[in-house]
Structure formats: C-alpha cells, structure tokens
C-alpha cells in the first residue's frame, strides 16, 4: 500500500511511503519538498496494483464472496470491483 502525507518533521514537505499491508512494515519512506514530487515518486513505482477498499469490505475479501466478503452474497455491494468476464482471471479490465 502506498500513500503521501505531510512530513511531521519538516513543515511544508510531504512524505511518500510504501507499506506492506499485511504487517505494516515500511518498505519505503522519503520526504519531498513538494506534494507533486511525492505523488510522482509513488507513480514511478513498478507494480501490479490491486484496488480494494482498505476499510470494511475489501481487505482481500473481494474474491471470497459469502458473508465476510464482497460479491455474490457479500455484505458490501458496490465496494469491490466487478469481475470482467473477458479476462480469464476474472479481474476488472485495465
């Protein structure tokens, strides 16, 4: 998971960070003098993004369905992406 926040140590600066979502471990943390530079640094990371809600539904449960997950029978319709039948893995098209 990646994000940008104000740098508490340097007023007017912004921190770009990358966390391992499962452990909260910082994988990267860098201060920038400008918001756009911080955002650009995140955008330069080579990755295979998976977009899910970080609260409530989502949290890796999109594919599970049932009572605890999203999708058919899940409790949070509209939060998780709709599978794209044209993709063999069922993930949303991109």
CB-based contacts of 68: which residues, under 8 Å, 6+ apart?
61, 74, 75
Using the predicted structure, report yes or no on whether residue 93 has a pLDDT greater than 50.
no
Domain boundaries, the chain: 2-43, 49-94
Q: What is the pLDDT of residues 31-87, one digit of tens each?
A: 999 999 999 999 998 877 666 555 555 555 555 554 554 555 544 555 545 555 554
pLDDT of 91 reads 45
């Amino acid at each position: 998971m990646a994000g940008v926040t104000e740098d508490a140590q340097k007023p007017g600066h912004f921190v770009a960070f990358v966390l391992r979502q499962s452990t909260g471990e910082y994988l990267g943390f860098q201060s920038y003098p400008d918001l756009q530079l911080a955002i650009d640094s995140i955008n330069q990371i080579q990755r295979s993004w998976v977009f899910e809600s970080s609260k409530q539904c989502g949290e890796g449960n999109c594919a599970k369905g049932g009572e605890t997950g999203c999708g058919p029978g899940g409790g949070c319709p509209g939060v998780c992406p709709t599978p794209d039948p044209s993709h063999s893995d069922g993930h949303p098209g991109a």
